[in-house]
Chain A
Amino acid sequence: MQCSDEQLVDKFKSGSVEAFEELVNRYERKVYTLAYRFTGNYADAGDMVQEVFIRVYRALPKFRAESSFSTWIYKVAANVCRDELRKQRRKKSVSLENMEANQGEIAVADDAQSPEEFVEQRDLQARVQKYIDQLTEDQRMILLLREMHQLSYEEMADVLECSLGTVKSRLSRARLALKNKMQAAGELS
């Protein structure tokens, strides 16, 4: 029987390093995906996933399970994402060229796909990432949490530390903005 996240947290508090490893196993891809989709930059996402788990490791002994571990780690990840953006703004080191160079998408090959279809899928994913990049910070985050990580409205309110009403209105605006950008680019049929 697989341990729940909360059981792993308890084990970690009792000194089990393996429990932390297991938590990393479970969440590294989720956190990395969120970081990459948020920044659109692989190098930054690599640093951010590192930072998230360092913070988790530090804070886990004090984790009181007022929310689920899953929600909590998303909250940590969201904070790291925001911090990263602030850092980048201060340093003004975001190079558009660099970001574009980093936007080679990792498409998942499907055996039923021809090479042309595979390329098409990869290109589509790169275009979708560009639409995400064009959204505001808040819109990006809430869209990613909802559409890619399937968080509930309540979980999003917890992660983003805002009310349910704010979640609804922010998500609505984010979806509308995404739709408008895709529509303007002729992406929607």
Chain B
Amino acid sequence: MQCQEVRQLLSAYMDEQLEALQKEDVSAHLRECTVCVAELAEMQQAVNLLRQLPELSPPPQFRTRLSEQIAAKDLSPSPARPPRSFFLQRWVRFVAAAAVIFLTVGITTLLYGLPSPWGHKDLTQNSVQEDAAAKEQLTASTDLRHRPESNVVQAPESSNQRGPLESFNAGDSVKLRKESRQTEAIPPEKEDGPTPSSGIEPRGGQGGGQSAGENDRQVSIMALPAEDDSGDMSPAQPDDSPQMGISAVPEEDAKLPAKLPEAVPEAVNEVGNAMLTLQVQDFNQALNMVNNIVEKYSGEVIRREEKTLELQFPAAIYDKAVMEMKSMGKVLESQTKDAVSVKYQKINDKLQALLKEKNDLLQKENITPVEKERLEDMQNSIDEYSRQLQDVNKLITVNFN
């Protein structure tokens, strides 16, 4: 194959859209031609820049205008459908907030289904008492004081009911906070090293500091109220706000699959939390955006407590949800980096290192035969690690749909 011909196929090659024979020909050419290899790398780089552009939100008046237009043009397609204003009723109950407010949100991510002893015992039997205890602790908290009921704008539903956010305190100061934690069951001989250095240590009932491998499920769950009682916070939790944790997961979550799919070689139980403190300009808009994010990413509101919202998202799209949360306002505080398992992190670290090494090699003008072999080996490893990461993601998605 000539270079010109290969270059016309690089785009489809990138997307694995070539027939087997064509793909083989292109691969063979790339093994020999450093110029075309560089061309492919540059195209990939250009495309990556495009992929990194953020998703944008329409202007705030979009829904109002749409509602008005639909009403004005009498577009109702069904006689049974009475004319009405869209989008307004959900938030109309909320009082306008002060010019600058804070929103508090705790985000919980369950990366894998909770085995029943964990989920059932701790999440259901203790949930009511723990909720009550958490409320009491909120009262004593500096920035999360429990407001009198008269100051709380409540949705008709019970506060424990899951679903899109429908109630929120219209306080003058709301602080968005998300918490991070992870738990995974990985064979100790493989994964009993320390938790990621920058990460949030899984906290045990005695105040944390355990490695991920030691951090069993009960400890993770039961630790929440205990830590509040003792005030013994993990070093990675700088804020003194109460931990709005996994104890709030309703009973139905205890029904999540207790077994891993057979295709997955080892059990990976992960609980990732993150803390985020955001400053937002418009209270109602912030609420609306939270609700949109919850709905968009199939999340759920696990708990609403004063200025704290605890949300749950499927792990596979957790990062996107967090990114969108961050885009709601100015980030005052955030701990999100290790909301993945140690196993996931390790695989990803290896993958990133390989990609960097590969990229560095591709930048060279002359690649030796030894380096070409190394490139092939690296590509095989990259494919394998990518597949492993994909498995984790698939596993997560299945369990929470």
Contacts and interface: CB of A to CB of B under 8 A. Distances in A.
Interface stretch (B75-83, B130-138, B153-161, B187-195): B75-83
Contact of A32 (B57, B69, B75, B80): B57
Interface stretch (A65-73, A90-98, A103-111): A103-111
Interface string B289-306: 000100110100000000
A49 B77 contact: no
A125 B50 CA distance: 8
Contacts of B298: 2
Contacts of A45: 56, 58
A100 to B, nearest CB: 18
B151 interface: no
Given A30-B55, A37-B53, A172-B10, A54 B75 contact: yes
Contacts of B10: 172
B377 interface: no
B58 A172 contact: no
Contacts of A17: 81, 84, 86
A36 B58 CA distance: 9
A148 B58 contact: no
Nearest to A109: B331
Nearest to A49: B58
B327 A106 contact: yes
A153 B142 CA distance: 54
Nearest to B363: A189
B58 A29 contact: yes
Given A49-B58, A61-B78, A132 B11 contact: no
A182 B43 CA distance: 10
A148 B51 contact: yes
A159 interface: no
B60 to A, nearest CB: 10
Contact of A128 (B43, B53, B63, B326): B53
A57 B326 CA distance: 31
Interface in B294-327: 295-296, 298, 323, 326-327
A30 B17 CA distance: 25
A97 B8 CA distance: 36
B10 to A, nearest CB: 7
Interface in B80-108: 80-81, 84, 86-87
A129 interface: yes
B387 interface: no
A178 B47 contact: yes
Nearest to A37: B53
Nearest to A106: B56
A41 to B, nearest CB: 12
Nearest to B79: A15
A interface, over-half SS: helix
B336 interface: yes
A52 B78 CA distance: 20
A111 B53 CA distance: 17
Interface residues of A, number: 59
A120 B284 CA distance: 31
Interface in A19-52: 20-22, 24-26, 28-33, 36-37, 42, 45-46, 49-50
A107 B54 contact: yes
Nearest to A170: B11
Contact of A147 (B47, B56, B333): B47
A148 B50 contact: yes
B47 to A, nearest CB: 6
B80 A15 contact: yes
Given A30-B55, A109-B326, A111-B326, A21 B47 contact: no
A108 B49 contact: no
Nearest to B59: A46
A33 B81 contact: no
A82 interface: no
Contacts of B126: none
Interface string A112-130: 1000000000001100110
B33 interface: no
Contacts of A75: none
A46 B58 contact: yes
B11 A175 contact: yes
A143 B295 CA distance: 27
Given A25-B296, A168-B11, A57 B77 contact: yes
B46 A25 contact: no
B46 A188 contact: yes
Nearest to A16: B81
Contact of A24 (B53, B63, B73, B323): B63
Interface in B17-73: 17, 42-43, 45-47, 49-59, 62-63, 65-66, 69-70, 73
8 contacts: A14-B78, A110-B326, A125-B53, A147-B51, A148-B55, A171-B12, A172-B11, A182-B49
Minimum-distance CB pairs A-B, first 8: A111-B334, A172-B11, A179-B46, A32-B58, A61-B77, A15-B80, A147-B50, A108-B327
Given A54-B69, A188-B46, 16 more contacts: A15-B80, A21-B87, A29-B55, A45-B58, A60-B77, A61-B78, A107-B54, A110-B326, A111-B333, A111-B336, A147-B50, A168-B12, A172-B8, A172-B12, A175-B47, A187-B46
Interface of B: 7-12, 14-15, 17, 42-43, 45-47, 49-59, 62-63, 65-66, 69-70, 73, 75, 77-78, 80-81, 84, 86-87, 292, 295-296, 298, 323, 326-327, 330-331, 333-334, 336-337, 363
